[in-house]
Amino acid sequence: MRHFLFLSFLVFSGISAGQVTIQGFAPGYVGQEIEAYRVIDYISDMQEKIASTTVESDSSFTLYLASEITQKVIIKSKNNTGFLFIQPEAKYSILFPEKDEYTAYRPEGNQVEVGFYNLDSTDINYKMLGFQRWIDYFLGNNYHLKSTDSGKFSKNLDGFKSRVENAYKDDASSYFKTHVRFTIASMDNIPHSEQKDRYSKYHFYIKHTPIQYNNEAYMLYIKDFYQKMIPRLSNESNQLVYEGILKSSPSAIMKGFGTEYTLSKLGLRELIMIKSLTEVYHSDDYPQTNIISILDSLSFRTIMPENAVIAKNLKLRITELVPGGKAPNFVLINDGKETKTLQNFQEKFLYVHFFDPESEDGTKELPLLIDMHERFKNEIQFLTVIRNRDLSERALEIMNSIPWDNYQLKSTHNIWENYHIKAFSQYTLIDAAGYIVSSPSLGPTPNGEYETIDKTFFQIQKGMNQE
């Protein structure tokens, strides 16, 4: 996803040490909450909210963030998501648009392109945009050659890489130079006659580069390069890893990985060990309890402190909200309503509807949900949860029309994090014993494969009637 660049060439000055200001306009989001998130780590892709505000009546908003490093920031509002890169002590002026009218609504969220006003030519976003346009131009003119004339494609790609290297060799931003280097490294993965073999890529791109935990281009390359590493190991090394998992011994597993040439660097080897353990977690070949025990241990003690954070986050990823896993408990408190927890809904299946009543796309699903509730209410309970804020009269009327339990919860309530709510509308299906059936679950409108939750509900109903 690329950003739009609108106006340029006005230098912004910093306002205080580490503080970043994002001023913007969001014409389609007046009265809506707009949030900024950072990526905690690029292996688990866990995010955390770092700022939020409400879009004013004139469509303006201001977000204040603390950041001592250059990093990617994700902007979210309603069901739309965009991003920009921030530098310490910088000030940005942006446009956060609604989704394109020709883009289909996606229940899991739509990507939008953040536009920039008055962007300085030394800013990371300006340079990222220029580099991306350069790549697009090259690929637009040369990509077809990889099939029709692979040799010419290889020659043109080598020339392009040389021009890029010369253009940015004196750039002062290490973040940008790493981004450029590993974006080019990813282009080396395009099949062509002169592409490097695996060991050459490791030696050229990875071996002499310190781990760049905060750089998205670097981490995406690492994730791809070391994908499914355990099956790549020799039989002897694979056996050492297997025995290490049976012993719940990180050091024994590290020994097994240590025979692989591309894992000669200890910190990187530890990172890939953690990543690889989660890749085999759901296979039948390794005991899950041992993998969890190893990740628990690594959450507290690792060679690289960043790896401990990744181990903790990956453990959450593989254990929370997976089918068959225990659903996180919650406490629902609203004035004038009965306080309820997950235990109050364990007589039947529970379909949790995370909803924004101000969203036109989300409200279009309500008639379908009400119809499903009427047909399946003897077997399935419905629950609607929204984020607490001042609602328009129309939104209040919509909430009052819902014929099942619905609660407004603060944005700080742990249900949003525990159930990984990233967009509205989103659904979770929980069985009568409190275990996850699916999350995110299908909704009442068809997904990209024309599937809805209706078939699942019918199967539940049929099974319970047979009992």
- pTM surpassing 0.85? no
pLDDT band at 147 (very low <50, low <70, confident <90, very high): confident
Q: In a 10 Å sphere around its CB, with 0-12 CB exposed, 13-18 middle and 19+ buried, how is residue 284 labelled?
A: exposed
Write out pLDDT tens, residues 195-230: 678 999 999 999 999 999 999 999 999 999 999 999
pLDDT band at 136 (very low <50, low <70, confident <90, very high): very high
Nearest 5°: phi and psi at 340? -135, 155
pLDDT band at 108 (very low <50, low <70, confident <90, very high): low
Mean pLDDT over each residue of the chain, to the nearest integer: 89
Dihedral of CA atoms 167, 171, 174, 177 in degrees, nearest 10, equals -10
Average pLDDT over residues 87-101: 92
Report how far residue 467's alpha carbon sits from residue 459's, in angstroms, rounded to the nearest whole number: 12
Quick one: pLDDT at residue 3? 41
Domain boundaries, the chain: 4-120, 127-225, 229-319, 331-466
Write out pLDDT tens, residues 447-465: 767 788 999 999 898 888 7
Beta bridge partners of 435: 326
Location of structure tokens 């739509």: 110
Report how far residue 114's alpha carbon sits from residue 323's, in angstroms, rounded to the nearest whole number: 35
Write out pLDDT tens, residues 266-295: 999 999 999 999 999 878 889 999 999 999
Quick one: pLDDT at residue 107? 55
Residue 191: pLDDT above 80?
no
Beta bridge partners of 380: 349
**302: which 2 tokens?**
């690792």
| Nearest CA among 120, 89, 168 for reference residue 8 | 120
Report how far residue 412's alpha carbon sits from residue 234's, in angstroms, rounded to the nearest whole number: 48
**366: which 2 tokens?**
């309500």
Quick one: pLDDT at residue 232? 92
Check: CATH 2.60.40.1120 for 4-120?
A: yes
CATH value of 331-466 in 3.40.50.2300, 3.40.50.1240, 3.40.30.10, 2.130.10.10: 3.40.30.10
Instruction: Tell me the percentage of the chain whose pLDDT exceeds 70.
Output: 94
Quick one: pLDDT at residue 195? 67
CA angle 138, 142, 123 (to 5 degrees): 10
Report how far residue 157's alpha carbon sits from residue 281's, in angstroms, rounded to the nearest whole number: 39
